[in-house]
């Protein structure tokens, strides 16, 4: 059995070139996706790391803050009433 290395190399060369081309195109595709994600992240986070709230998120946080302030005020009033009741038996 006589194996010709030159013929094997010649027949594998197109397969190797196709594999290299696929690898390079995959890397380029990943790089484009990374750049797209970086661009989207710039819309959500400032360069110094603070989060930029979306309009819907800002409204929800505002409503939650108002509710917490109301509850906190109510708790302060109740605490004062309890303290007054304890000081004046």
Tell me: the pLDDT tens digits for 36-67? 988 888 778 777 878 777 777 778 888 999 99
pLDDT beyond 70 at 89 = no
pTM over 0.85: no
Cα dihedral 76, 78, 82, 83, rounded to 10, equals 20
The domains of the chain are located at 1-48, 53-89
Do the Cβ atoms of 52 and 43 come closer than 8 Å? yes
Give the closest residue to 31 by CA, choosing from 55, 39, 48: 39
Look over the chain and give the mean of its residue pLDDT values, rounded to a whole number.
88
51 DSSP assignment: B
Give the sign of the dihedral formed by CA 9, CA 15, CA 18, CA 22: negative
């Amino acid at each position: 059995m006589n194996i010709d290395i030159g013929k094997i190399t010649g027949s594998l060369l197109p397969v190797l070139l196709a594999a290299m081309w696929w690898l390079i195109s995959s890397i380029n595709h990943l790089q484009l996706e990374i750049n797209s994600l970086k661009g989207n992240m710039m819309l959500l986070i400032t360069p110094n790391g603070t989060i930029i709230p979306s309009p819907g998120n800002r409204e929800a946080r505002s409503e939650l803050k108002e509710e917490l302030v109301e509850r906190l005020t109510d708790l302060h009033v109740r605490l004062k009433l309890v303290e007054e009741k304890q000081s004046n038996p």
